[in-house]
Amino acid sequence: MMETVNMKINGMPITVPKNYTILQAAREAGFNIPTLCYLKEINEIGACRVCVVEVKGARSLVAACVYPVSEGLEVSTNSLKVQKSRRTTLELILSNHDRRCLSCSRSGECELQILCREYGVEVEHRFDGANPRVELDASTDYLVRDNNKCILCRRCVGACAAQTTGVIGVNDRGFDTNIGCAFNTELGNVPCVGCGQCIVNCPTGALQEKDDTTKVWDALQDESKYVIVHTAPSIRATLGECFKMPIGTNVKGKMVAALRRLGFDKVFDTDFGADLTIMEEANEFIERVQNGGKLPMITSCSPGWINYCEHYFPDMLDNLSTCKSPQQMTGAMIKTWYAEQNGLDPKDIVVVSIMPCTAKKYEIHRADQDAAGYPDIDIVLTTRELARMINRAHINFTDLPDEEFDPALGITTGAGAIFGATGGVMEAALRTAADWITGKDLSVIDYYTDVRGTDGIKTATYDIKDLTIKVGVASGLANAKELLNRVREGEHFDFIEIMCCPGGCVNGGGQPLQPSSIYNFTDLKTKRAKALYDEDKELPIRKSHKSPIIEKLYKEYLEKPGSHKAHELLHTSYSAKVKPVK
């Protein structure tokens, strides 16, 4: 039985677990103590001093995020003394902060800006510190660091460390303290994997994805271009948050309607590419099992994970599936099969993908991603960038009617839909692989649900005909590292799915921003994933190989999974970036 303590918060008696902090106890009592540096289980350092509260008998204010509760504790979270301290802290933070808020990508969502508004802090105030301009770091394809807007909260440092990459940290001391890479190296010259977890955890505009919306606006206005957009499975489960809709709302129909109103010539579903990935990946897995190939086979859908593997586990590159990601497969088929069917020249097609992931911006520049002789994907936008385009076009998103994807590449299966959640790729692959191994249309589709859920590592064993297949699923790179070290140490697996971001694509670095008051206390991953699993249940087709558009594609164009043509268009290669790191 859990030990509890009795205490008072703002005069209200409550009973809470003994291992709680004041921050957690206040939340249970209905009081939201503001924070800037706090990230649950990632960055609990009490550094920003915004969460200070009064404790009866204490000589000074204490940081609620790290101060433990105790029997008889009496806390005031909003006294005048507390309010004055928080206001002073915010003024000091602003004293050397870039205050050009109107042009900042975070304006309206910036946690610092919101707190300053709540505490009545003006742009011009009693403190005015040295404010030297720092050059932006735009050395990657996917991210911009602007230390002029950094408040030294260290949330990005904690997020990067949690991913075990740790390429950013605290440099120098005193007034010269700054966040960056060791020896002030540019981000593009260190083994950053592009996951973007630093962006979604940053409370201000110090970190943001490279904005490519201007490229899309230009393409849409170019009458010589045929502009096609396709959206990743997880986008439908998250885009609504950008328009204040409840977390986990499936907005697929409104999203399609908005994209049409932006002017795209065709609106396709990346679920098509997810189904195509399963066809190639399941076939590759069966071939490896039956022909003594390299096992465990590891999925290759997540470009952040691929980048991590090339940098930190180069000895396991042969374990990676050679399949391109659904994003790239969709682009490849648009610029080959679809172009040929519709008399289009691939050089005149601009393919835009809407992705949950900043690493997708990096992926389109990798080698072997140009099936038609042109890039498979021309422009990648994150969920946030799409929302900005919808807002700029003054489209009333929440009032839009539901519309369907264009049918040519828009048929959705349940297997494709669940790709956005950790375990989804594995479950989808097993649905198809089991049918092929047994030669039967197995009716128990939900047999493989052991790999569902947001646990960092999940394992399961399945008996399929005369085969016993052990699978592993990891999300978040710390968990990937742990699982792969288990493989190095001799633990047997046949098939492993790895997603770079904790919880999978629904929690990707390009997803909608949530303030720490929600991020720390709401299970975003589960709520968002539920929307995808609910869609899977409702769809009439739940196996990738049963999709009529996939059947037509192989019959008319690719011949069969794993064919020579399929390998030319849908498969890729990898290269080690550094020596193996254990």
Alpha-carbon distance 403 to 400, whole Å? 9
**121-125, 132-136, 358-362, 472-476, range with the lowest pLDDT:** 121-125
Parallel, antiparallel or unpaired: strands 62-63 and 52-55: antiparallel
What's residue 157's pLDDT? Answer: 97
Residue given tokens 């019959």 in the structure block: 555
Beta bridge partners of 43: 39
Alpha carbon distances (Å) from 126 to 95, 123, 147, 309, 533? 9, 10, 23, 50, 53
Alpha-carbon distance 508 to 353, whole Å? 15
Nearest to 107 by CA among 391, 359, 353: 391
Sheet with 52-55, strands from edge to edge, namely 12-17, 4-9, 74-76, 52-55, 62-63
Q: Percentage of the chain surpassing pLDDT 70?
A: 99
The secondary structure of residue 402, as a DSSP letter, is P
**130-139, 201-210, 242-251, range with the lowest pLDDT:** 130-139
What's residue 450's pLDDT? Answer: 95
Q: Give me the chain's average pLDDT, please.
A: 95
Amino acid letter for position 172:
D
Q: Are 259 and 398 in contact (CB under 8 A)?
A: no
Alpha carbon distances (Å) from 228 to 336, 348, 369, 408, 510? 13, 11, 17, 12, 20
Q: Per-residue pLDDT tens for 113-160?
A: 999 999 999 877 788 777 788 999 999 999 999 999 999 999 999 999
What's residue 129's pLDDT? Answer: 73
CB neighbour list of residue 368: distance below 8 Å, 6 or more residues apart: 324, 571, 572, 573
What's residue 42's pLDDT? Answer: 94
What's residue 581's pLDDT? Answer: 42
Question: H or E element: which one contains 434?
Answer: helix 424-438
What's residue 55's pLDDT? Answer: 97
Mean pLDDT of 436-460: 94
Mean pLDDT of 204-223: 97
Q: Which two tokens stand for residue 310?
A: 């090339």
Mean pLDDT of 254-264: 98
Work out the angle between the directed axes of helices 477-488 and 303-312 (0-180°, nearest 10).
50
**23-27, 126-130, 236-240, range with the lowest pLDDT:** 126-130
Q: Which two tokens stand for residue 402?
A: 């539901």
What's residue 123's pLDDT? Answer: 72
Question: H or E element: which one contains 566?
Answer: helix 564-570
Work out the angle between the directed axes of helices 111-118 and 80-94 (0-180°, nearest 10).
130
Can you spell out the DSSP letters for 235-285?
Answer: HHHHGGGGGTPPTT---HHHHHHHHHHHT-SEEEETHHHHHHHHHHHHHHH
Nearest to 365 by CA among 216, 225, 194: 194
Alpha-carbon distance 294 to 320, whole Å? 9
**101-105, 264-268, 306-310, 481-485, range with the lowest pLDDT:** 101-105
The secondary structure of residue 211, as a DSSP letter, is P
Banded pLDDT at 175 (limits 50, 70, 90): confident
Q: Per-residue pLDDT tens for 269-317?
A: 999 999 999 999 999 999 999 999 999 999 999 999 999 999 999 999 9
Question: H or E element: which one contains 62?
Answer: strand 62-63
Q: Which two tokens stand for residue 162?
A: 């949690």
Nearest to 425 by CA among 281, 232, 231: 281
Banded pLDDT at 444 (limits 50, 70, 90): confident
Question: H or E element: which one contains 22?
Answer: helix 22-28
What's residue 582's pLDDT? Answer: 44
Is the Cα dihedral 239, 242, 247, 253 positive or negative?
Answer: negative
Mean pLDDT of 386-403: 98
Mean pLDDT of 79-95: 95
What's residue 488's pLDDT? Answer: 97
Rg (CA), the chain: 25
Can you spell out the DSSP letters for 518-530?
Answer: HHTTS-HHHHHHH
What are φ and ψ of residue 495, in 5° steps? -145, 130
What's residue 132's pLDDT? Answer: 81
